[in-house]
Amino acid sequence: MQIPSTIARELMGDIAPKFAELTDTVLFDDIWQRPGLAARERSLITVATLIALNRSEQLPFHIQRTLDNGITHAELVEVITQLAFYAGWPTAASAVTALRQLSAKQTTSTSKE
């Protein structure tokens, strides 16, 4: 039986297969699917937390997920601006950079199509 490919398995399954499995089954298949919050709210909470904790490596993936879950670019900018006063200016500036890079990447991808 072949295990289906996922982002977690592709990014870390070769070196940390159990961690990749837990990421898929517990985090994304359980926690993210619970009925208490919509995916939009879960994405917003996740991005805000990643920004506040300055977890810039995971930020691009979750910014994209947030956009896919209905948060607009303008709303993300407002979240980042709000967090600047609570989480710190440097963390907010890093988040702006991540959003800019993602936007540039999307613009480049769209112009090639």
Q: How many domains does the chain have?
A: 2
**Are 5 and 26 in the same domain?**
yes
CATH code for the domain of 77: 1.20.1290.10
- 93 to each of 73, 88, 104, 108, how far by Cα in Å? 15, 9, 16, 22
Q: Judge if 6 and 56 occupy the same domain.
A: no
Confidence tier at 4 by pLDDT (50, 70, 90) = low
Q: How far apart are CA 19 and CA 13, in angstroms?
A: 8
pLDDT digits (tens, 9 = 90+) for 49-85: 999 999 999 999 999 999 999 999 999 999 999 999 9
Domain that includes residue 64, residue range: 38-112
Neighbours of 83 (CB within 10 A): 19
Q: Is 0.95 topped by the overall pTM?
A: no
Specify the pLDDT at position 66. Answer: 95
